[in-house]
Structure 1
């Protein structure tokens, strides 16, 4: 069960090598979390991450999970929940893709959509059902500010995150009153392996800053978290900029 401050004792990470997810796990272990499941494709990187979290004092398990294999999600995740109640599921998998290349290679664009949206819908629904059945828990979904409005520079990735964001909001409404809860996290540009070599946008952030915002959101029982918080105001304004003007903005 969560503690009096809303922080989880047990955590399931979908996307076990995500830098944001691991920064969040480290932060939560330093507070209250004692059991961590890292779900992802088997790799030395995930085993190394598990070893690091164990060194921080957590009981850490790994489980094979593939976002691109929705037919396996129910079996894999049900086995995790069968081992004990999970206070928080962090849906953190996703790929950025290469916009210029993916426009010319639709198969690659579809892979972005299948991972970021279809895989997330599947895993999100299975996780939500398990949280609802146990009567408590939070599903934290890593969305992106890129989903707020289509941009020429990343509309393939952005559209997948837009779909994910709407799905997560609706799922939160569906779970309202059940004891389970959904929190959507919308970071801006995050300095990480995934964005290495790309030009940072204004109000860029770090995995550690996102983790801090997630912890604060859990304490507050938030439904939406922006990182940094100023993006809430900025995107509210950008949504209403005329399209002809928006096209000329350097974003």
Structure 2
């Protein structure tokens, strides 16, 4: 539970190897978090993680995004380890390649299951716990790719669009419970997952995304963009005529 001055004490990261997720956790640890759970398929080497190096007690849990029937149990295991969950960071996902998805529709369906339906079961399990606690925040890593889907990555973008809508609806369902959802919309972030993607304008580092999340948690925001310039930019892109939008997606 948060301490007497409101500092986050416990953090659960779903997607324990995510570079952006780990940057967010590291930032929260630097700000005072002391108990961290890293949940990933096969577990993670908790003792060698950055949060552990900063003095946090770090636990590792098995988490499989494609096994929705296990997600409630994963949340319960995290609670058994650290008690109430102050912040849960939902950061798992796959990027993949659009051409590969079009050549192998089954792989596209598997990726969509990770990028959307896995978040539905995990998000509902987390929300149930936060509602029971009467406090806590779920941080959902969405993407500008879901704000308006482009042809060059529409499998990934459509899943992110679904996730963004789900997260907003989940936030509304938690209103008045003491718990909340923070939706994060980063643009291009150079990480291992995006190494095969051409750089895009207005990139952000994992650390800059973490800064935006930290500020959003402090301010009570419902949505943050990283970098912030993307918010007005995509407001304009939503109004762009579809023929022109298709040309931008080539």
**TM bin (shorter chain):** over 0.9
Question: Deviating runs (4+, > 4 A) in structure 1?
Answer: 3-7
2: CA distance, partners of 1:127 / 1:169 = 15
Contact 1:7 1:215 in 2 (8 A): no
Matches within 5 A, 1:18-29: 18-29=18-29
Deviation of residue 4 (structure 1)? 6.8
* Partner of residue 69, structure 1: 67
Tell me, in whole angstroms, the C-alpha distance in 2 between the residues paired with 1:188 and 1:229: 10
Instruction: Please state how far the C-alpha of 1:80 moved relative to its aligned partner.
Output: 1.5
Q: CA deviation at 1:49?
A: 7.0
| 1:243 Cα offset (Å) | 0.2
Deviation at 1:77, TM superposition (A): 1.4
- Give the TM-score of the pair, scaled to structure 1: 0.95
RMSD: 1.5
Q: Distance in 1 between matches of 2:243 and 2:69?
A: 43
Structure 2 residue ranges without an equivalent (≥5): none
Q: What is the CA–CA distance in structure 2 between the aligned matches of 1:58 and 1:112, rounded to whole Å?
A: 33
Shift of 1:48: 5.7
Q: Is the 8 A contact 1:50 1:61 kept in 2?
A: no
Q: 1 CA distance for matches of 2:6 and 2:204?
A: 24
Match of 1:60 in 2: 58
Unaligned stretches of 5+ in structure 1? none
After the TM superposition, which residues 147-158 of structure 1 pair with which residues of structure 2 at under 5 Å, given as runs? 147-158=146-157
- Post-superposition Cα deviations, 1:50-92, rounded to whole Å, max 9, x if no partner, equal 5432121001100001000001111121122233111010000
CA distance in 2, matches of 1:245, 1:195: 26
TM-score, normalised to structure 2, is 0.95
- Cα gap change, 1:229/1:4 in structure 2, threshold over 3 Å: closer, same or farther? farther
Answer whether contact 1:12 1:37 (CA < 8 A) is retained: yes
